[in-house]
Amino acid sequence: MAVPEAMMENRRFLSAVFHRSRQPGDRTELALLAIALLIVAFVFALLFSITTGASDASILDVVRNMAGNETLSARDRIIIFDIRLPRAILGFLIGGSLAVSGAVMQGLFRNPLADPGLVGVSSGAGLGAVVMIVLGSTVAAPLYLALGIYALPLAAFGGGLATTLLLYRVATRNGQTSVATMLLAGIALGALAGALTGVLIYMANDQQLRDLTFWGMGSLAGATWIKISAAGPIILLSFIALPFTARGLNAITLGEAAAFHMGVPVQRLKNITIVTVAAATGASVAVSGGIGFVGIVVPHILRMVIGPDHRFLLPASALLGGSLLIFGDVLARTIVAPAELPIGIITAAVGGPFFLWILVRQRSRLAL
C-alpha cells in the first residue's frame, strides 16, 4: 500500500503545482519570456553600441571578424575592440549593478523609493573614491601602491558600505525601518559626504580637479580593459551572490517577523545584501562616477510588467539596467558629436521626472 499512496501523493503535488502555475496573477511565464527578450535586447544593444560612430564597420562585419574572418581594417579593429567594446561591457556591468542594487534595497527596506543614489550610498562611495584620487599620492600612497588597480574600487566600496550601515542603523528602530527616516537620513548622509568631498576637491591640484569634475558627472569615456579587470570581478561577484537572496527578499516583504517565522535568517540576509550592494555600487561609482536613477527606474518598470518576485526581478533588472545604460551611452556620444555628453546628465534628465511620478503615485501609501 505504501507505493500507491506515494504515487497518489506525487500526483497531488504535481496537480497543485500545475494549477498553481495557472492561478490568476501568476506571472512566471511572462517573467521568463521577458528575461528571454531582455537577453536578445542586450545582444542587440552590444552590437549596436560597438558599430555606432565614426567607424563605418557594420554589424555583419563585426560578427564575421569575431568568427575569425579578417573583414575589418586595423583602424576599425582598434576602434571597436579597444575603445567601444570595453565601453559597452563596462556600461552593461555598471547599469546592471546599479539596477540590481536598487531592486535589492527596495526589497530590503520594503519601500519603492530606496536607491543607492537617492539614499546617499553613491555619495559615500564617491567620497571613498575621491579620498583615494586626491590622497593617493600623499597620505594614502602606501595603501594605493599595495592595492594597485583595486585601490579605487575598494576605497569606493568602503565608503558605500559605511554609508549603508549607518543609514540602516539610523532608519531602523525596534526592528522596523521607517521610510521617511531613511529618506531624510539619506539626504543628510549624502550632504555630509558631499561636504567632505568638497573639502578634498579644494585640496586637489589642477589635474585632479579636472578629473574629478568630469568624473562627478558620470561617464564611460575612460573605459578600458584595465578598468574592467578592476571593477568587473567585484560587480560579477555581486551578480552571482544577490540571486541567492531572492527568496529571502520575497519573504521579508511580509515583514521581518513573518520572514523570521518562515525560516529566513533575517540578520544574515541583511548583512549579505548590505555588503553586496555596497560592493557593487562602490565598484560602479569608482570607474564611472555619479550615474543616478538607474536603480529606481529599472526595478519599477519591471515590477509593472513581471511583478515583484525577486527570483525574476533581479536577473531582469541586471539585463534591462545594463542594456539601457549601453543605449544611453550611445546617445551620450552621438547627440552632441563630435563632443560627448556625460551619461549622468542623461540618466538624471530621464530619471528625475520618473522619480517625481513615483513619489506622487506612492505618497498616500507611504504617508509622505
Query: What CA–CA distance (Å, rounded) separates 38 from 106?
Result: 22
Residue located via cell numbers 504515487: 7
The CB density around residue 82, as the number of other CB atoms within 10 Å, is 12
* Residue 179: per-residue pLDDT: 60
DSSP 129-148: HHHHHHHTTTTTHHHHHHHG
Task: Write the CB contacts of 364 (distance below 8 Å, at least 6 apart in sequence).
Answer: none
The CB density around residue 362, as the number of other CB atoms within 10 Å, is 16
Evaluate whether 129 touches 286 at the Cβ level (below 8 Å).
yes
Question: How far lies 171's CA from each of 5, 103, 152, 176, 186, in Å?
Answer: 52, 18, 29, 8, 9
* Residue 46: per-residue pLDDT: 92
* Residue 13: per-residue pLDDT: 42
What's the pTM value of the predicted model, to 2 decimals? 0.82
Task: Write the CB contacts of 101 (distance below 8 Å, at least 6 apart in sequence).
Answer: 116, 121, 238, 277, 280, 281, 295
pLDDT tens series, the chain, 368 aa: 444 554 455 455 444 444 444 455 678 889 999 999 999 999 999 989 988 877 767 777 777 777 777 777 778 888 888 888 999 999 999 999 999 999 998 988 887 777 887 777 888 888 988 888 888 878 778 888 888 878 888 888 888 888 888 887 887 777 666 666 877 888 888 889 989 988 988 888 888 887 787 777 888 887 889 889 888 998 999 999 988 999 999 998 888 888 888 888 888 888 888 888 888 888 888 888 888 889 888 998 999 899 889 999 999 999 999 999 999 999 988 887 777 888 888 888 888 888 788 777 766 555 55
